[in-house]
Amino acid sequence: MDWNAYNDCNNIDNEGIVRLTQLEELLIDRNSNITNLNHMVNLLELHNNNCNIDDGGISKLTHLNTLSVINNTRITNLNHMTNLKTLHMARCNIDDEGIRNLTQLEVLKVDHNDNITNIEHMTKLKVVDLDFNKITVGSCLLLIKFGLHIKECYYRLGNYYKNDKNYEEAISYFKLAFDSGYNKGNCLFWIAECYRMTNNFDEAIKYLKYASQNNYDKDNRVLLIAECMKMKQNNISRQ
């Protein structure tokens, strides 16, 4: 079965696929007529993008090991798919409750879905791409503990520790995020800001200058250098 068959056959509906009971792989792209796949009980891999399938239309697909749900707000519950190993969700309405039983996942990609915040139960994950969603601090720490060095998690933890005024820990995570290539301009600014908050003005100025000299300073934060130098001078005067 050619995965691309449906791309140019958007008039196919449920009746047109009713006999495909042995299908193992299926791609449905921009087709609003197909709504029910429950007769395809042998499906192992399903990719659906911009279609009208809802929870009822996939309720019997318990053998899936690979699933993509993209631009589909009708699918919200995947808990019956306990064999899933690979899951890609983008611009959909699936939330934490809808994936609570997916403990066997090894590959997870989540794009533009702030409903997913907790993946601590997915202890078998080997590959994760979060595209920076609102993943909890606990989930980030767990992923790092498992050896998954995820740039979004480093940045998330940097923000968490910064807000908690644990500036030393925040600096270490912002540096890891920077080294991994994530949001370099903001990383440099927050590293400098954390140093400034601990009165380490030399380091703050160094990182601000580095941001400016390497064209990471899109918000003209180099102006903070003058403020840091002034604060440094005032600090010396008090001593």
CB–CB of 42/63 below 8 Å?
A: yes
CB–CB of 61/42 below 8 Å?
A: no
pLDDT category at 61 given cuts 50, 70, 90 is: very high
At 120-136, the pLDDT tens digits run 898 888 888 776 567 77
Cα-flanking dihedrals φ and ψ of residue 223, to 5°?
-60, -25
**To which CATH superfamily is domain 1-148 assigned?**
Ribonuclease Inhibitor (3.80.10.10)
Surface-to-core class of residue 108, CB atoms within 10 Å of its CB (0-12 exposed, 13-18 middle, 19+ buried): buried
CATH topology of domain 151-239: 1.25.40
pLDDT exceeds cutoff 50 at 2? no
CB–CB of 75/56 below 8 Å?
A: no
Surface-to-core class of residue 29, CB atoms within 10 Å of its CB (0-12 exposed, 13-18 middle, 19+ buried): middle
At 39-50, the pLDDT tens digits run 999 999 999 998
At 73-82, the pLDDT tens digits run 999 999 999 9
- What mean pLDDT, rounded, does the chain reach? 85
* pLDDT attached to residue 3: 40
Distance (Å, rounded) from C-alpha 155 to C-alpha 139? 13
* Helix/strand number for the chain, H first, E second: 6, 6
User: pTM of the full predicted structure?
Assistant: 0.68
Q: Can you read off the two tokens belonging to residue 68?
A: 């993509």
pLDDT exceeds cutoff 90 at 179? yes
- The full DSSP string for 147-205 is T---HHHHHHHHHHHHHTT-HHHHHHHHHHHHHTTSSHHHHHHHHHHHHHHTT-HHHHH
pLDDT category at 220 given cuts 50, 70, 90 is: low
* Bridge partners (DSSP) listed for residue 114: none
* pLDDT attached to residue 100: 95
pLDDT category at 208 given cuts 50, 70, 90 is: confident
* pLDDT attached to residue 64: 95
Surface-to-core class of residue 210, CB atoms within 10 Å of its CB (0-12 exposed, 13-18 middle, 19+ buried): middle
* pLDDT attached to residue 229: 67
Distance (Å, rounded) from C-alpha 165 to C-alpha 167? 5
CB–CB of 124/104 below 8 Å?
A: yes
- Other beta carbons within 10 Å of 168: 10
Indicate the domain borders of the chain.
1-148, 151-239
